[in-house]
Structure 1
Amino acid sequence: MTGHKEKQDPRFKIAHREAWIGVGLVLFNFLWWFGFAYGLGSKPIEEYRYVFGMPAWFFYSCAFGSVVMMGLVIFIVKTFFKDVDLEEEEEGTS
């Protein structure tokens, strides 16, 4: 029986790295949302502050948070993700 350590396609390493970056972005987004929504939103309604007519907790967690995440995702993809050819390479051809 041959060893399990055969030549692995390098695209898998890139895909795994980019998947973990995606998981990190999701966790960051959740922490951002949770922190502002429950941090600022846990006060009594009478103590709410408002931004553009919205409660501050909603503005920072949902409205502004969405803009931050879009910018962060664009930056991460342009900086850390690689363009990978998905076509199978044929061995033995020049």
Structure 2
Amino acid sequence: MSVLSDDLPLDPLLAEDVRDARRVAYCYIEDAFVEGRQDGLDSDALAHAALFAAMRTLVETYGEEATAVFAEALPEKLRTGTFTTGTRH
């Protein structure tokens, strides 16, 4: 069982806490992207740095194998639009 799955805990109150924490964390990351772009960094550089930092943190927290299992699910999520917010390419 991977501790990195997107499955939320069975306790609905705890599940809402997890969703709220993820929303707040996402806002922090979005703010960092805005600030970085205002300072002249391009979005591609910011995205690569964010992905590297995220993967490094996941490996430090859960280990290489659990992070690899998590990463294996990413292609399907990308293809099905999980991360798409605007028009699809």
TM tier, shorter chain?
A: 0.3 to 0.5
Identify which of structures 1 and 2 has the higher relative contact order when contacts are C-alpha pairs closer than 8 Å and 6+ apart: 2
- With normalisation by structure 2, the TM-score equals 0.33
- With normalisation by structure 1, the TM-score equals 0.31
Higher helix share: 2
